[in-house]
A = this chain, B = another copy of it.
Amino acid sequence: MPSSTKRILAKYTPQYIEKEVLIEGFVQARRDHGKLVFIDLRDHSGLVQVVFNPQVSEKAYEIASELRPEFAVSIIGKVNKRPERLINPKLESGTVELEALELEILSKAETLPFDMGGEVLSLELPTLLDFRALTLRHGSVKPIFIVQASILEGFRNICQKLDCVEIVVPTIAASATEGGAEVFKVNYYDHKAFMTQSPQLYKQMLVPVLERVFTIAHAYRAEPSVTTRHLSETTQMDCEFGFVNFENLLDLLEISAVEMLKHVEKNCKALLKEFKMEPIAFGKIPRLTLREAQEIIFKEYKRDNRSEKDLTPQDEVDLSKWALKKHNSDFVTVTHFPTSKRAFYTMPDPKNPEYSLSYDLLFKGVEILSGSQRINDHDKLVSAIKERGMNPADYKMFLMAFKYGMPPEGGFSFGLERITMKLLGLNNIREASLFPRDMERVDERFSRSEEKEKVFQKKKD
């Protein structure tokens, strides 16, 4: 191809009627109609139809006959208006087609292991993931990650409005972030180290430095279970604020969630429609304590979980239904979880220390955010660490921030993949991660002995 010709994108072809243009992309489909070959060419802007006519270019026509799906090609052609009856209203370029003058194959593709041409990709999840490098290209999969990018952007936008400074915190740490056994060990120059379970301790340490911070961080949980809602490596969107009280924090988390998702709805309107999602219900978000929430579950759904220490997955689903019906809200804020069920840095409620100044935000039936007011007194924090059977010496750097003055503070953490999943109505969180990590897979599935298989099936929920 003459490198002097500037490539244009598929969706702009209608602006070049009767002109010669260069387009580059992938063969989405080929159709042979007697003495003509048609292809749908896909680039990152969309599709355009290309016709190869031996009368126009014998050579291009011949090469075109070799084309198969996913060949990468470069084409020079003339943009022709389509006759009225052949206009394709589903395509941005549907009023035109490209008459090929030259064709170059940039990269061949093997025959695909399954049909990628349909609107739906009918594959079981394991196959979808086994062929991830291929299946991500499908029109029903790729948009998930365009929406995900928009969530990230929406999050950062609201953080900036809230005066938060972006921070980059490490993921290798000398001790487990939140205690517990569910942590990955790293061999760090012959020292023992861990992958952080969250950016929590680091963002807290930054409060006396920058006061309001945010970070988008990877978090690692070695949970020995396989559910539709958990991954071993996830993406957290975290904020932390100094000089705030519990009420401020509830306001901040709700405004963050709402503004972030309004951004996505505005910027991904067409894609959300493709996923057949109803507009998000942005009614005033109800705030319930855990016990109030459990009362509602008892009254409205006849399940008595009033002494449980947490919401069950079904409680989360039902509470969200209730909030939508009663408050026209796809969100519910639940507060005051038992202190013993939350991480050591969570502030107990001074009015009743059995419960804590903690919160979760539910969205369409699942928890997408978690957080709390934090203990900001050094000595109380040391006590809380000891009470959980942990060693304050393992938290030396963290405790230093409190030793030298820590104002009232708190924050929260959104789960990116969970938001993506619920926003698009996906069934499994693995569909919301480009390359999901869990106990059975790192890109490829691990092979399992029969014995391991038994243990595995048991741990599945």
A contact set with B: CB distance below 8 Å: 3, 7, 24-27, 43-44, 70-72, 74, 106-110, 112, 131-134, 136-137, 142, 145-146, 148-149, 152-153, 156, 163, 165-174, 184-189, 191, 193, 195, 202, 205-206, 208-212, 216, 218, 220, 222, 224, 232-233, 235, 242-243, 245, 247, 376-377, 396-398, 400-408, 416, 433-435, 437, 439, 442-444, 446
Contacts and interface: CB of A to CB of B under 8 A. Distances in A.
Given A149-B167, A171-B233, 7 more contacts: A72-B208, A107-B376, A134-B404, A184-B186, A188-B442, A189-B446, A191-B442
A360 B403 CA distance: 44
B137 A172 contact: no
Which secondary structure characterizes the binding site on chain A? mixed
Contacts of A132: 397, 400
A437 B70 contact: no
Contacts of A166: 149, 152-153
25 contacts: A25-B243, A26-B208, A70-B208, A70-B404, A72-B208, A72-B243, A72-B405, A107-B406, A109-B404, A112-B404, A132-B400, A136-B209, A145-B209, A146-B210, A169-B434, A170-B233, A170-B435, A171-B171, A174-B442, A184-B187, A186-B187, A202-B434, A206-B434, A396-B443, A397-B435
A407 B163 contact: no
A130 B215 CA distance: 23
Nearest to A245: B3
Contact of A416 (B24, B72, B134, B168): B168
A405 B211 contact: no
Contact of A106 (B220, B397, B407, B446): B407
Contacts of A170: 218, 233, 434-435, 437, 442
B142 A210 contact: yes
Please indicate which of the listed interface residues A3, A202, A208 has the most CB atoms of chain B within 10 Å of its own CB: A208
Contacts of A396: 443-444
Q: Which of A136, A137, A189, A404 has the most CB of B within 10 A?
A: A404
Contacts of A44: 163, 210-212, 242
Contacts of A136: 205-206, 209
Nearest to A399: B133
Nearest 10 pairs of A and B residues by beta carbon: A109-B405, A44-B211, A70-B405, A72-B407, A133-B400, A133-B401, A397-B443, A149-B166, A174-B442, A136-B209
Contact of A172 (B149, B233, B397, B444): B233
A213 B235 CA distance: 18
B209 A142 contact: yes
Contacts of A72: 208, 243, 405-407
A29 to B, nearest CB: 14
B191 A186 contact: no
Nearest to A3: B245
